[in-house]
Amino acid sequence: MSTSVIRLKTSVQESILELLNEQIGMEAQSSAAYLSMAAWCYSQGLNGCGAYFKIQSGEERDHMLKLFDYIVDVGGLPVSPAIARVEKTFEGLRDILVKALEQEISITQSFNRITEQCHKAKDYQTAKFLQWYLDEQLEEEQQARRCIEIYDLIGTEDGGLYRIDKEIIKLKTHEEK
Ligand code: OFO
């Protein structure tokens, strides 16, 4: 007689699992978008920003895997997400920095929505898990805003882009604060 492996019932509602899986897709898309931003920066000689976005891309993948692991832990089935095409050309570094901030804001809004649904479903365990992401988003939005401030404060006159590039990577190496 063959044995089949079945997943036991989970306390996390199917609708919440679906939202978490959608978030996996969002984190993967974010990771891909940041990698594309890194590629563009490197192509412009902006190696500090290239490194900044490459690190950010890795962080987004980590966020994705943390969600993946949680779904496994609660007995659900996580997805391996499909990635939509990402933008490859940008108007300039400031355009990228603004897009990065907008991306982070939409991710924060998404986590707020999922957390709200968890509260409605009385799924306090998942809501507690999501608190880590909300804390992380506070930091990520702050960092994305700081990049734009650095850009605007230094300006692009007199080799400013070179200095902006040097300052932005410091946000990841924690030399700036
Ligand atoms: Fe994972 O979104 Fe930024 O963080």
Nearest residue CA, atom 1 of ligand 1? 60
For residues 90 and 96, the answer to whether their CB atoms sit within 8 Å is yes
Confidence (pLDDT) at 137: 97
Tokens coding 160: 């400013």
What is the C-alpha separation between 160 and 91, in angstroms, rounded?
Answer: 17
Mutate to test the pocket of ligand 1, among 22, 136, 145 (most ligand atoms within 8 A of CB): 136
Tokens coding 35: 């990698």
Cα radius of gyration (the chain):
19
Q: Which atom of ligand 1 is nearest to the CA of 56?
A: 3
Q: Which atom of ligand 1 is nearest to the CA of 64?
A: 1
Distances in Å between the Cα of 88 and the Cα atoms of 36, 124, 150 are: 6, 40, 24
Mutate to test the pocket of ligand 1, among 23, 27, 31, 139 (most ligand atoms within 8 A of CB): 27
What is the C-alpha separation between 48 and 31, in angstroms, rounded?
Answer: 18
Q: Which amino acid is at 57?
A: S
For residues 55 and 105, the answer to whether their CB atoms sit within 8 Å is no
First to last CA, the chain: 64
The reported pTM is 0.92
Confidence (pLDDT) at 9: 66
pLDDT tens-digit profile, the chain (177 residues): 445 566 566 789 999 999 999 999 999 999 999 999 999 999 999 999 999 999 999 999 999 999 999 999 999 999 999 999 999 999 999 999 999 999 999 999 999 999 999 999 999 999 999 999 999 999 999 999 999 999 999 999 999 999 999 999 999 997 665
Q: Which atom of ligand 1 is nearest to the CA of 107?
A: 2
Q: Quick check: CB of 26 below 6 Å from ligand 1?
A: no
